[in-house]
Amino acid sequence: MNMEATHPFLPYLSTDYSRKILSEHYQKAGIAYPDTRSYATCYSFISHLKHGCLYYEQAQVAPLEIKPLLLFYGFIQLMKAIILTKDDQYPSNSQVLAHGVTTRKRKKQLIAF
């Protein structure tokens, strides 16, 4: 990831800074133990930011046909980071991870040997 010194997300890539910001958000939201929860979500928050930025960087150099896909997934990653500022339990279950693509659950198959 090519982050310049002036990149707006650069401070958030520091665990100390991100934990502080998350803790402040959790405190405002009335979440119990905001410091503990910010510690638990900090690395996920930073990971979402990094992945979002990578998708956007790749979209700048990608062929036109796949730019929308890269921008979509970059946006989704940044939205996950934003959601983590409000919901320390995100993702609370696998249903909230759906992004418009659904599949049917496969039935268990017994394999006889």
| Per-residue pLDDT band at 7 (split at 50, 70, 90) | confident
Position 46 scores a pLDDT of: 93
Position 43 scores a pLDDT of: 93
Residue 6, pLDDT > 80, answer no
d(CA 63, CA 17): 36
Position 5 scores a pLDDT of: 58
Identify the burial level of 19 via C-beta atoms within 10 angstroms of its C-beta, where 0-12 means exposed, 13-18 middle and 19 or more buried: buried
Whole-model pTM: value is 0.76
More confident residue, 82 or 13: 82
